[in-house]
Amino acid sequence: MPTLTQLCGARNLTSLRNPLTCKTTSTVVRQGPAAEKGGAPAWLLFLCPEHVNTLPDWPGDPADVDDLSSMTCGAVLDFRSTDQVLQSHADLWLTPLTGVDPKMYITADKWADVLDQAHRALAEQPDRAEGESEPLNSLLMMLGIAAKNAAMGDLYQATVPLAFCETVAPRLL
DSSP string, 33-86: PBSSTT--BSEEEEE-GGGTT--TTS--EEE--B--TTPBTT-EEE-S-HHHHH
pTM: 0.89
Are residues 146 and 123 part of one domain? yes
Length of the chain: 173
pLDDT band with cut points at 50, 70 and 90 for residue 142: very high
Are residues 56 and 126 part of one domain? no
End residue of a domain, out of 54, 80, 106: 80
End residue of a domain, out of 80, 103, 138: 80
pLDDT in tens, 50-105: 998 888 888 888 887 766 667 889 999 999 999 999 999 999 999 999 999 999 99
Can you tell me whether residue 101 is helix, strand or coil? coil
pLDDT in tens, 99-108: 999 999 988 8
Computed over every residue of the chain, the mean pLDDT equals: 88
Are residues 146 and 87 part of one domain? yes
Q: How many domains does the chain have?
A: 2
Are residues 67 and 92 part of one domain? no
